[in-house]
Amino acid sequence: MSREPGTGLSHSLSRLSRKLPGNRPIISGVILLQIVFLMLPTIIVFIVSFQPGDIVRFPPDGFSLSWYAEIPEQDQYISALYRSVVAALFCTLFSIPIGILTAIGLMRYDLRFSNLFQIYFLLPFTVPLVVSGVILMIIFGELGYIGQLWTVGLALTIINIPFMIWSVTSRVNALDPNLENAAKNLGSDELQTFVNVTLPAIMPGVVTGSLIMFVLGLNEFLVSLIITTTNNVTLPVVIYTAIRSNISPLIAAVASIYVLVAFIAVLVSDRLVGLEELLSS
Amino acid sequence: MSIDNNQRLQNLKWRVMDRLIAAKETLPREWYQSQPNWLGYVLIVPGVLLVSFLFVGLLLLAGYSVLTFDPIEFIVYEFTLENWRNFLTTEAYYRIFARTVGMATLITVLAVAMALPYAYLTVRTENAVLRKLLLVCLFVPFFTGVIVRAYGWMIILGQNGLVNTGLGVFGIGPIRLIGTEHGVIIGLLQIMIPFAIIMIAPAIQNIDRSLELAASSLGSNRLETFWYVVLPLAAPGIAGATIVVFTLTSATYAIPALVGGGRVDFISNVIYRALFNMANYPLAATFSISLVVVSSIIVLGIFRSIGTGTLGVTEGGTHE
């Protein structure tokens, strides 16, 4: 199986070509179409943002960064971006301890009604987002907290917490309890065992969960639309309001922040845990 | 210098640990040494409290749905079934509800069907480059958010958009896609396919590869193997994907509002208007409860027939 570098490349290329149209033409065609379908809306926003004129047209009438140069002057976008980042950070940091405790509680202890608890922890997914929005608006409204930024962070934590619980749970499952017992057997204190054995072992799950929580928090729209006022409105809601009136390339430039964040998030998760890992948790 | 800092950090860590251990040791010994089972309940308390917002909120909403709406005072705390009567007898509401459920069903079927080959190829391909490409094209849209993608679709499907410009080259069109059901279906599918792939892929990963090889060595072709071996074994993933895609689609707001241009309203759009245009909280609560009831019935139906699938946190068999 030893081969020279050159033949290795051509070998894998010929394998690729056999994989693509020849071998399974229909399946490959469908997948290729899906790739285009999935990527197109994201890419198009990015392309349009480099258009010099103020009318979106195809093919673009040139290349310019002028719309990007205007962003810093747009206070409404900058402050909304800041609020989005703060809310997303809040929900990420808040969900880490809750996710770890819940995952360990559910997995390591023999709870009665554990099936019931599992269904309960799926509530954020089974309750439609619009209903969660109405609920939180009524609760925060009754308590008089509407318009404060932390309510957005708390709302994001509530609706996305299952993602954190999941990714930590899969790590708790993978951790062999014998490792913890070995640590204790060697004289480690219970707390030391937790800090030095358990935590490092579930860390990849926490990292994956945090990444998902942060990016989803940054992107969250519907619940924010319902519970925010002009005081604490987040970037997706501002973009939504803006595109309803016009679709100037300026908004495309602002929206490209999200395209960039998405690419960075994919890159970072690939480096940290691997994209496959993201899929299996 | 850095060694010095490192040393200091280590010292700090030890000191913190010592304090924590000392604090722990003031607790009764058997609490931490044998770790009684009730500790499990204590651990999940923060999570339970967090989710209780939604649980309590659902009860609150059910209460609101039987309160009286008044155009001047908004809410009068008097029992009435008027909202429910209003909802059940108004044909327009009815139609929107039917459209929501119908579209959600259609999108679910299409998204799951399209996600299956994608997820399968992502998991099973031996080509590392192809796999990476598939993963990137899955997660970049997933991380881009609904609003940005809805905006992208508006640019693509609009009057002077990419599609119509392309058709114009051949002298066709322009065709109207914004404000039509077709446009909304396209937009929603693109949002939902990544969710479906993410739910299905782990189930395919759990399928023993040798079962597929056995099927093919016994003479079944690729399609038969996929249909008789992969599909039944991927059932938990399909169940999870169905539940997630259906609930998300039935509660969708942004795509109907933007790509649908207000002409293809879903129930969420009506709830939003009841809240902010009419300030009719009881009616909004009525719609919300109905949506929860309908989607719960469908989700429970899937739970019963295929199980919680990849949604269940015990997936992977951990209960010894």
Can you give the residue ranges of every domain in chain A?
5-67, 73-280
Q: Which residues fall within 8 angstroms of residue A127, CB to CB, at 6 or more apart?
A: A135, B54, B58, B292
Answer whether residue B13 shows pLDDT above 70: yes
Can you give the residue ranges of every domain in chain B?
91-311
Answer whether residue B27 shows pLDDT above 60: yes
pLDDT at A12: 56
SS (H, E, C) chain B: CHHHHHHHHHHHHHHHHHHHHHHHHCCCHHHHHCCCCHHHHHHHHHHHHHHHHHHHHHHHHHHHCCEEEECCCEEEEEECCHHHHHHHHCHHHHHHHHHHHHHHHHHHHHHHHHHHHHHHHHHHCCCHHHHHHHHHHHHHHHHHCHHHHHHHHHHHHCCCCHHHHHHHHCCCCCCCCCCCHHHHHHHHHHHHHHHHHHHHHHHHHCCCHHHHHHHHHCCCCHHHHHHHHHHHHCHHHHHHHHHHHHHHHHCCCHHHHHCCCCCCCCHHHHHHHHHHCCCCHHHHHHHHHHHHHHHHHHHHHHHHHHCCHHHCCCCCCCCC
Q: What is the DSSP letter of A71?
A: G
B203-B205-B206-B210 Cα dihedral, nearest 10 degrees: 130
Q: Do A130 and B247 touch (CB under 8 A)?
A: no
Please tell me the distance from the alpha carbon of residue B51 to that of residue B178, in angstroms, as a whole number.
37
Q: Do A41 and B156 touch (CB under 8 A)?
A: yes
Answer whether residue B34 shows pLDDT above 60: yes
Q: Do A123 and B44 touch (CB under 8 A)?
A: no
Q: Do B51 and A192 touch (CB under 8 A)?
A: no
Q: Do B247 and A218 touch (CB under 8 A)?
A: no
- Which residues from B are below 8 Å from A244, CB to CB? 257-258
Segment among A204-213, B29-38, B223-232 with least mean pLDDT: B29-38
Helix axes B146-157, B128-144, angle to 10 degrees: 100
Position A235 confidence tier, pLDDT thresholds 50, 70, 90: very high
Note the CATH number of domain B91-311: 1.10.3720.10
Residues 209 through 268 of chain B touching chain A, CB cutoff 8 Å: 222, 243-244, 247-248, 250-251, 253-254, 257-258, 267-268
- Which residues from B are below 8 Å from A198, CB to CB? none
Please tell me the distance from the alpha carbon of residue B161 to that of residue B173, in angstroms, as a whole number.
12
Please tell me the distance from the alpha carbon of residue B214 to that of residue B101, in angstroms, as a whole number.
41
Q: Which residues fall within 8 angstroms of residue A216, CB to CB, at 6 or more apart?
A: A156, A160, A163
Superfamily for A73-280?
A: MetI-like (1.10.3720.10)
Answer whether residue A2 shows pLDDT above 50: no
**In whole angstroms, how large is the CA radius of gyration of chain B?**
26
Separation in Å, CA of A8 to nearest CA in chain B: 13
Predicted confidence (pLDDT) per residue in A93-144, tens digit: 999 999 999 998 888 888 777 788 888 888 888 888 999 999 999 899 888 8
CA-nearest residue to A20 within chain B is: B130
Predicted confidence (pLDDT) per residue in B101-160, tens digit: 999 999 999 999 999 989 988 888 888 888 889 999 999 998 888 999 999 998 888 877
Predicted confidence (pLDDT) per residue in B69-92, tens digit: 766 666 766 677 777 777 777 778
Q: Do A125 and B247 touch (CB under 8 A)?
A: yes
Residues 173 through 202 of chain B touching chain A, CB cutoff 8 Å: 189-190, 193-194, 198, 201-202
Predicted confidence (pLDDT) per residue in B159-193, tens digit: 777 888 788 778 776 788 888 889 999 999 999 99
DSSP lists the bridge partners of residue B76 as: B68
The pLDDT mean for chain A works out to 83
ipTM of model: 0.83
- Looking at residue B97, its amino acid is F
CA-nearest residue to B273 within chain A is: A226
Q: Is the peptide bond before B194 cis (omega within 30 degrees of 0)?
A: no
Q: Which of B127, B166, B318 sits opposite A16 (nearest CB)?
A: B127
Any CB–CB contact under 8 A between B284 and chain A?
yes
Please tell me the distance from the alpha carbon of residue B303 to that of residue B300, in angstroms, as a whole number.
5
Q: Do B190 and A240 touch (CB under 8 A)?
A: no
CA-nearest residue to B317 within chain A is: A173
Reference B74, options A141, A127, A226, A132; nearest CA is: A141
Separation in Å, CA of B203 to nearest CA in chain A: 9
Separation in Å, CA of A258 to nearest CA in chain B: 6
Reference A94, options A161, A176, A12; nearest CA is: A161
